[in-house]
Every structure is written in structure tokens, then in C-alpha cells.
Amino acid sequence: MMALKTSHGLRGRLLRHEPMSRHTSWRVGGPADSLYIPADLDDLVAFLKQLPANEPLHWVGLGSNLLVRDGGVRGTVVMTSGALNGLSLLSESMVRAEAGVASAKVARYSTDHHLTGAEFLAGIPGTIGGALAMNAGAFGGETWNIVHAVETLDRHGELRVHLAADYEVGYRHVAGPAGEWFVAARFRLLPDERRQGKALIKSLLAKRGATQPTQLPNAGSVFKNPPNYHAARLIEAAGLKGAREGGASVSDMHANFIVNQNGATAADIERLIARVQAEVHKKSGVQLEPEVRVMGEEAV
């Protein structure tokens, strides 16, 4: 670990050749050339303003919903988790959360302030930045259903605010202004007049614990649900529960989860993803589309 040159006026931490396996929920991934953990949003703005224009730039939150290949990542990775952690009440019905805040923390914060509508975020194992980027959902709720506005940052360090209407949003799909990354969201919620939010979160987490392999390294749901189908049911119908490639296996508890059972590599997981796709297509004719993002290069 080393600090960036103080002449740049930066307060964050720069890690060279940092194994991404330390920063992903699957616990796999080769080294990033550089990984920067900003001190806060102002520090991130300053960092981007001094970054060379041709430097490849990647963004990572808690590293869930992400597969980093064994050959690592060229360029610079910005880690928002533990850095962009601002969480505040803007009004009686508006919560602002920065991109590095865990989604579950926003759910709890909202109920603590007697607001409802964000409880489903407790079931999303990632950060607000990732939830915004893919319109993450759980238990019937989707992130952009409660977004009022977002704050973004481009690679030149310019901050902007956009209304939710500026984005095209669908199932695990978000499209908006190019070359900008989410750094915060403003969520419009409703009064929890019956004070049922905490009980709802408790029940959702109990359901998650009973149906998902939370005790083993995983990245959440691997595949999107195709129209009129459930990915997990298609995978199970293809006889793939427990299927293995190296140290990676399809969870016996939930077939849309691939777990790192025994020292898996990213290549093991990627092979298993491809095998599941091929066998489900052969069995049902349905082509499963991954919702996990793949980053980096294969090992040489």
C-alpha cells in the first residue's frame, strides 16, 4: 500500500498490483494494475482530474455481481465501498446515499427514519452504485422505482445531477448519459405510518438466509430471469444443481447461484456459466443471459 504523491493534493490510498480476489464476493480475480480508494467524493473528483486521459478506468463497489478474470485488470480500479459512504436525510421523504453505501444499510437507515419503500434493498448484496447501474432488485422491488435523482461524475471530475426521467430503465438495464458514473442517489420514499419496515426487513432477510447460499462465496444471482421463466427453475430442470467445474459449483440451495466451494478460479466459474447456458439451451431452448459483469483478462 502506498499513498499517491502529496503534490497532487490527494488523500486516498493507491494500491499497486492489488489482487482483486480481496475485493470480490466470489473471492477470485487477478491483480489490478492500480486500485484507488478515495477518501471521499471530493478526493475522487481530484483524483479523476489528474488521471491521464488514456488510462483505462473501472469502478467496483462491494465486488458482488462481478467476476474478475484471473489475468487481472489493466488500468485503474476505483473502489467506492468504504469511501463514498455518505448517507443522509434531505427532507421528510428523501434519502441521499452515496455510491459506496451498502444497499442493506440504506434499507435500515430508511426504516430508522420511519420511511418505507426501500426495504427490498436489504436483499441486495452490493452497493448503491451497483444497484443503480443495473437496476438491481429483490423481493419484488427494483432500485429505480424509488430513484428521484442521481449524481454522476465523469472521468474529468465533473459532477452532474440528473432526474430519473433522464434514464432508460428496464429489468436489470439502465441507459443514460455516456461517460458518467453514479456517485450518489436521491431516493423518494413514503412515510411508514404503521412502523412495519423493520419487521419487513427481518422477514426478507430470513427468507434470503433460508433460500440462498449466503455462507459460501457467491456473487448473487448469476443469470437474469428470461421473460415468463425463472432462471433457477430452468437450471434445476436441466439437472444442473450441484454441477461442478474445478472449485466452482451450482448451489444445491438455489440453482441460480454459483458458489466458490473449494478454491475456485475465475476460469472455473466462467466455464461453469458457459456450461449452464449450453445445457439449459439444449434442454429448454431458452438462452440464459448472465447478469454478472465480467472484468479483466484471462490468465496467460
C-alpha cell at 152: 454522476
Euclidean distance between the first and the last CA atom of the chain, given in angstroms as a whole number: 26
C-alpha cell at 34: 492500480
Among the listed residues 172, 188, 271, 293, the single catalytic one is 172
Residue in 208, 203, 189, 204 with CA at minimum distance from that of residue 111: 189
C-alpha cell at 136: 438491481
DSSP E strand boundaries for 6-82: 13-19, 31-37, 57-60, 66-68, 73-79
Report yes or no: 33 and 24 within 8 Å, Cβ to Cβ.
Answer: no
172 is catalytic: yes
Residues 84 and 284: their CA atoms lie apart, in Å, by 43
CA distances, 273 to each of 122, 223, 270 (Å): 26, 9, 5
25 is catalytic: no
221 is catalytic: yes
Residues 111 and 261: their CA atoms lie apart, in Å, by 35
Tell me the one-letter amino acid at 183.
V
Among the listed residues 18, 98, 270, 291, the single catalytic one is 291
Among the listed residues 64, 81, 103, 221, the single catalytic one is 221
* Residues assigned a catalytic role: 172, 221, 291
